[in-house]
Structure 1
Amino acid sequence: MSWVILIVSGVLEAVWATALGKSEGFTKLWPTVILGVALVASMGGLALAMRDISTGTAYAVWVGIGAALTVAYAMIFGGEPTSIVKVLLLLGLVGCVVGLKLVDTSH
């Protein structure tokens, strides 16, 4: 269950990071509200997951999921330039996150 919580928390990291950009310095209400809710939920989920998953692995997975989804969202919807190299690097990042899950020995 800790891994599910960690993955959801990583997705929520991408949500709050994207909302942070859309809040335009906290001047827009709804992106700021979304940022706050997603940030608290993401950090709370990370903390819960770290009860059973080592700190280094949990943090790396959380950041990796959040970073990959944030960049992917920006490439699809936000005007971030897309290239084959960027896509391959994102796939490599996702592969590393999966690899960390596969080699994790904590229960």
Structure 2
Amino acid sequence: WFQERSKRIQSSNFGRICTATDRTNFQRLAESLIKPSDIRTAPILHGRKYEDAAIRKYKDISQNKVTRCGIFVCEEFPFLAASPDGFINDSIVIEVKCP
């Protein structure tokens, strides 16, 4: 998963790309998209620790079934991908944030 993810621009970065202006440091932006980020930061570890509990709580409250998933690669533009935490149906995905 991580290897496949590292080959593509992830949906979590689309906003940074789409809102770039003439004052954006494009060199720095490109480097941040290409180089792997540290996946052992305190916020990421915290999110991993509580993600399953958050999804269980969401399922209990909403009564929706959440199917865990991996990476989705765009067929038309295979350099683009998304890796949501799960999906509810064909048009709804879930991305968990654990503050």
The structure where strand makes up a greater share of residues is: 2
Pick the TM interval, shorter chain: under 0.3
Structure number having the greater helix percentage = 1
Structure with greater Cα Rg: 2
Q: TM-score, normalised by structure 2?
A: 0.27
TM-score normalised by structure 1 residue count: 0.26
